[in-house]
Amino acid sequence: MEVEKPFDYIERIPGGAIITTTVDKVLEWGRECSLWYFSFGLACCAIEVLMAAGAARFDLDRFGMMFRATPRQSDLMIVAGTVTKKMAPRVKRLYDQMAEPKYVIATGSCANAGGPFADSYAVLKGVDLIIPVDVYVPGCPPRPEALIFAVQKLKEKMRNQVRMKRSNLPEDTRCDA
């Protein structure tokens, strides 16, 4: 997977280095490498995937990802588990409280489409009916590695969004033109 460097040019000099870059690039790099996640554990997936992915063996922290207990400090919502219709308005409210830009990963069949409870009168058939989802992780439950892969895919998406935004700018205002 291609890793975009947060600088355009680096020259090593005795005792240090000179780096040229843009503020945009540094901010984007910082955002991508410090995804603080608001975990939304609603059922078994929360233990099977989310807790396991954050624990020692898989260790999400090594990607600069830290768990936050408040939506106001989070960039990423990881929805793990069955979203009931009773819980749905709370999920939406907490999503609305997150600052832009914000991202969502839906983990497991329940969050994706209702899972084994899709026929239940009480279960939402996918969290994307109330909030936009960036990456879906299939499985019941998915492996923690699948969540880590989803995080890499999200970073790829974030990078592409930034590139598209840059390429839509008029030529004479682009720093990379």
Tell whether residue 126 is a contact of ligand SF4 (CB under 6 A). no
The region of 14-22, 66-74, 109-117, 164-172 touching ligand SF4 under the rule CB under 6 A is 109-117
Is 81 in contact with 41 (CB distance < 8 Å)? yes
CB of 117 to ligand SF4, least distance (A): 7
Beta partners for residue 68, in sequence order: 38
Rama region for 126: left / alpha / beta (φ>0; ψ in -120 to 50; rest): left
Decide: is 144 part of the binding site for ligand SF4 (CB under 6 A): no
Q: Kindly tell me the burial class for residue 75, based on how many C-beta atoms sit within 10 Å of its own C-beta (0-12, 13-18, 19 or more).
A: buried
The answer to whether 76 contacts ligand SF4 (rule: CB under 6 A) is no
Question: Which is nearer to ligand SF4, 64 or 116 (by Cβ)?
Answer: 116
Q: Rule CB under 6 A: which of 23-52 touch ligand SF4?
A: 43-45, 48
SS3 27: helix
Residue of 54, 115, 126, 144 that binds ligand SF4 (CB under 6 A):
115
Measured between alpha carbons, how far is 151 from 36 in angstroms, rounded to an integer? 11
Give the binding site for ligand SF4 (CB under 6 A): 43-45, 48, 81-82, 108-110, 115-116, 140-141
